[in-house]
Amino acid sequence: MATQSNTQRVFNFSAGPAVLPMSVLEQAQAELICLPGAGASVLEISHRGAAFIEIMNSAVARLRDLLGISDEFEVLLLQGGSRLQFSMTAINLAPGAAAPPDYVITGTWGKKALEEAQKVCAPRVVWDGKPHNYSEAPDWSSLELNPQAAYAYITSNETIQGVQLPTDLDSPAPLVCDSSSDFLSRPVPMDKYGLLYACAQKNAGPAGVTVVIIRKDLMGRAPSDTPGYLDYRNHAEAESMYNTPPTFAIYLLDLVCKWLQQDVGGLANIERQNIDKANQVYTVIDESDGFYQGHAEKSCRSMMNATFRMANEQLDKQFIAEAREQGLDGLKGHRSVGGVRVSMYNAMPLEGISTLCQFMRDFMNRNG
Amino acid sequence: MATQSNTQRVFNFSAGPAVLPMSVLEQAQAELICLPGAGASVLEISHRGAAFIEIMNSAVARLRDLLGISDEFEVLLLQGGSRLQFSMTAINLAPGAAAPPDYVITGTWGKKALEEAQKVCAPRVVWDGKPHNYSEAPDWSSLELNPQAAYAYITSNETIQGVQLPTDLDSPAPLVCDSSSDFLSRPVPMDKYGLLYACAQKNAGPAGVTVVIIRKDLMGRAPSDTPGYLDYRNHAEAESMYNTPPTFAIYLLDLVCKWLQQDVGGLANIERQNIDKANQVYTVIDESDGFYQGHAEKSCRSMMNATFRMANEQLDKQFIAEAREQGLDGLKGHRSVGGVRVSMYNAMPLEGISTLCQFMRDFMNRNG
């Protein structure tokens, strides 16, 4: 970035925290000293005041509208990220069930969720992609899910491996889904889900707020000695004000949802854009004659995170460094797996993708 | 605020989230689209990238400098607010001790912390201010603290009641302190403390980040089935990157600490300013001949939150409404206790206090 000014924006392919819509950043900047009508910055106002309650209600209403969430569900805005949800899902949903939960493991985050559930109950692993290094998704019809299970757990998109479940599971037990890295990237048939959660810092906002959509009848099972913050009921009863919510993160979540509604025109539209963007990247990979080696099987390639590597680590490093020089940043794969990762969330503009694809072709021509 | 423009700032006496230094807001606004050198907004950059790691390290270093925190302590930046700390302190520190912890209850938040500890162990209440409606602080010398206790728990400032502990306790057991609402408002002799924590949204930043300062030897006692996010060790080992930290809140925490270091000149200076501001408000109360009735005993009146009421609720309401009309906002007492609360954190300018004091005198003259 030596040729760029100190405040020149790059194309940010970071896996999260990640790129936000420019119009959202501009509104946040314009209002940062004083939220219109509030007399103070949104960073400073009381969470109990009318101005913030309006923001909170707006964010929840927009989420309900975008995802078609019925009154059967609570929409909670929490702290602690997916890590805390790994524990909260098991603590709240496992007790009292006829059988322990079923876990489908398609990558790193599902595995970590399983480890937290193992502290609470005896989860059953019904599918594990480890033998092929987490590059596949299960054939749903081959799974033997227990209808008596407390719940069935899936990770809709594994950010590190770039493996996305291509279809929604019809689960006989309540379906729990970590949707952190593809939340709001496409429509979701919420009637198939019991609990769907996502930390915001991919498609929905900044780091620091986690959206939990939970069917109301699944609450109320947590033992009485559950830490207060970890019981969904407490948050539901207090309308996500069990304690001071992360107000600024919720304000940005609301702005991102407004952008999806008003500028993009809803989740079906953003899905079309995301498929188009992902197809461009995967086409370069598929036409590279093996120069770029995709990690995930084609049937479960992620629309959000394209992961690939080249012939050797040295070339991967060179790719990442040269890309950065050209204003294409955040392409380094997760430190646990290496390689290259192209995160192309909702707010990544088409121009970023075409610039990247051109770079990929050029790099291959120079080094292939 | 009818006479003010839509973006006119008021004096914001909110108890938290609360007023931030103007220079901090201005820098955050200027950098919101692009953090200099980072190529993206601080809201968008990876927590694993050099730019954010520099911010994180800077925030921790500034906290260490301001409070004189030695290497004996870890400084952790977490999510979940004080509510989660109510649980985490007990879960992490109670196990394995010869005796359960001792709790000193001086107001609402200490009571809630006790309730969470009761889920984990059998805490002993060594002092409870309830008989006098939480208007007092204990005489330390009268307490019979157990040297064998897992820890002794105090709340240095009770935000709702406006009761602040006037001196630091010399505890025979490790001292655990909820310092949420007076953190960074004065120097603290850290060698007297085992664990001191604070959510940021009073003096240290926005809602969404909680600072935990913990003596290293107090970690490692949590049971192996503790939810991963609730074990301090995990956060310490990962240098507060056990999961994605609330990056923007930490960025603002760093800016607030920089303001305290460079503009204010340290915690001794801010303490002098805070005493001066509080004295102005309490002088109006003391000279009001009972028109304003302070809640806390004089010996433990909070420098952060002055709580008082008038002859009847109607007058309280009128006071709050008229003050708001004059650009003095956020003065309503906590919904659980009513009355008036003047929160006068670090960033409340002297001008705000003098304007308020003048209003208080005028209001009394008109209604006394």
A265-288 tens-digit pLDDT: 999 999 999 999 999 999 999 999
Sign of the CA dihedral running A278, A280, A286, A290: negative
Comparing CB atoms, the residue among A29, A119, A244 nearest residue B29 is: A29
The Cβ of residue B71 has, within 10 Å, a number of other Cβ atoms equal to: 7
The distance between the two most distant Cα atoms of chain A, rounded to a whole number of Å, is 63
The residue of chain A nearest to residue B37, with distances taken between CA atoms, is A6
Give chain A positions within 8 Å (CB) of B28: 32, 43
The residue of chain A nearest to residue B25, with distances taken between CA atoms, is A33
pLDDT average, residue stretch B204-217: 98
Give chain B positions within 8 Å (CB) of A228: 83, 86-87, 115-116
Share of chain A above pLDDT 90, in %: 97
Q: Which of B7, B10, B12, B44 to mutate to test binding with chain A, by most A CBs within 10 Å of its CB?
A: B44
pLDDT average, residue stretch A48-60: 97
Q: What is the DSSP string of A68-84?
A: T--TTEEEEEESSHHHH
pLDDT tens-place string over residues B294-305: 999 999 999 999
Task: Provide the token pair at B55.
Answer: 């911010």
Comparing CB atoms, the residue among B36, B47, B207 nearest residue A17 is: B47
The residue of chain B nearest to residue A46, with distances taken between CA atoms, is B17
Give chain A positions within 8 Å (CB) of B46: 14-17, 330
Give the ipTM of the model, two decimals please: 0.97
| pLDDT band with cut points at 50, 70 and 90 for residue A7 | confident
Comparing CB atoms, the residue among A6, A88, A224 nearest residue B36 is: A6
Instruction: With a cut of 80, say whether residue B57 has pLDDT above it.
Output: yes
Share of chain B above pLDDT 70, in %: 99
| pLDDT band with cut points at 50, 70 and 90 for residue A31 | very high
Q: Which of B8, B46, B226 to mutate to test binding with chain A, by most A CBs within 10 Å of its CB?
A: B46
How far is the alpha carbon of A113 from chain B, nearest alpha carbon, in Å? 10
| pLDDT band with cut points at 50, 70 and 90 for residue A4 | low
| pLDDT band with cut points at 50, 70 and 90 for residue B3 | very low
pLDDT computed for residue A113 by the predictor: 98
CB pairs under 8 A between A and B: 232
pLDDT computed for residue A3 by the predictor: 46
Q: Are A25 and B6 in contact (CB < 8 Å)?
A: no
Instruction: With a cut of 90, say whether residue B313 has pLDDT above it.
Output: yes
Instruction: With a cut of 90, say whether residue A6 has pLDDT above it.
Output: no
Comparing CB atoms, the residue among A29, A46, A230 nearest residue B330 is: A46
Task: Provide the token pair at B277.
Answer: 């501001």
Beta carbons of A124 and A103 less than 8 angstroms apart: yes
Comparing CB atoms, the residue among B33, B44, B87 nearest residue A17 is: B44
User: Which of these, B168, B120, B150, lies nearest to B218 by C-alpha position?
Assistant: B150
A216 labelled catalytic: no
pLDDT computed for residue A1 by the predictor: 42
| φ, ψ for residue A187, nearest 5 deg | -65, 150
pLDDT computed for residue B368 by the predictor: 86
Share of chain B above pLDDT 90, in %: 97
Instruction: With a cut of 50, say whether residue A2 has pLDDT above it.
Output: no
Q: Are B87 and A32 in contact (CB < 8 Å)?
A: no
Instruction: With a cut of 90, say whether residue A250 has pLDDT above it.
Output: yes
Q: Are A229 and B83 in contact (CB < 8 Å)?
A: yes
Q: What is the dihedral of CA A327, A292, A203, B236, to 10 degrees?
A: -90
pLDDT computed for residue A176 by the predictor: 98
Give chain A positions within 8 Å (CB) of B335: 48
The pTM score is 0.98
pLDDT computed for residue B4 by the predictor: 54
pLDDT computed for residue B5 by the predictor: 77
Instruction: With a cut of 70, say whether residue A81 has pLDDT above it.
Output: yes
Mean pLDDT of chain B: 97
Instruction: With a cut of 70, say whether residue B113 has pLDDT above it.
Output: yes
| pLDDT band with cut points at 50, 70 and 90 for residue B2 | very low
User: Interhelix angle for A350-367 vs A267-286, to 10°?
Assistant: 10
pLDDT average, residue stretch B94-123: 98
Specify the 3-state DSSP secondary structure of A99. strand
Q: Is A39 left (phi over 0), alpha (psi -120 to 50) or beta?
A: left
Task: Provide the token pair at B28.
Answer: 């955050």
pLDDT computed for residue B34 by the predictor: 97
pLDDT tens-place string over residues A193-231: 999 999 999 999 999 999 999 999 999 999 999 999 999
Q: What is the bridge-based pairing of β-strands B124-128 and B102-105?
A: parallel
Helix segments in chain B, DSSP class H: 22-30, 50-67, 81-93, 108-117, 232-237, 247-258, 267-286, 313-325, 350-367
For chain B, the distance separating the N- and C-terminal CA atoms, rounded to the nearest angstrom, is 25
List B9's β-bridge partners, or say none: none
How far is the alpha carbon of B245 from chain A, nearest alpha carbon, in Å? 7
pLDDT average, residue stretch A106-116: 98
How far is the alpha carbon of A199 from chain B, nearest alpha carbon, in Å? 9
Residue matched to tokens 């072709």: A361
The residue of chain A nearest to residue B35, with distances taken between CA atoms, is A7
| φ, ψ for residue A50, nearest 5 deg | -60, -40
How far is the alpha carbon of B294 from chain A, nearest alpha carbon, in Å? 23
User: Which of these, B102, B77, B108, lies nearest to B90 by C-alpha position?
Assistant: B102
Q: What is the bridge-based pairing of β-strands B124-128 and B152-155?
A: unpaired
Q: Which of A23, A248, A305, A343 to mutate to test binding with chain B, by most B CBs within 10 Å of its CB?
A: A248
How far is the alpha carbon of A186 from chain B, nearest alpha carbon, in Å? 21
- Cα–Cα distances in Å, from A218 out to A110, A177, A222? 21, 14, 10
Q: What is the DSSP string of B35-79?
A: -TTTSS-TTTS-TTSHHHHHHHHHHHHHHHHHHT--TTEEEEEES
Catalytic-role residue among A178, A231, A316, A329: A178
Q: Are A247 and B14 in contact (CB < 8 Å)?
A: no
Q: Are B230 and A227 in contact (CB < 8 Å)?
A: yes
How far is the alpha carbon of A202 from chain B, nearest alpha carbon, in Å? 9
Residues 6+ apart with CB under 8 A from A106: A127, A129, A134, A136, A137, A138, A154, A155, A158, A161, A163, A165, A300
Q: Which of A12, A43, A210, A342 to mutate to test binding with chain B, by most B CBs within 10 Å of its CB?
A: A43
The residue of chain A nearest to residue B247, with distances taken between CA atoms, is A207
Instruction: With a cut of 90, say whether residue A264 has pLDDT above it.
Output: yes
Catalytic-role residue among A102, A111, A127, A202: A202
Residues of B with a catalytic annotation lie at: 109, 178, 202
CA-CA distance, B146 to A86, in Å (whole number)?
Answer: 37
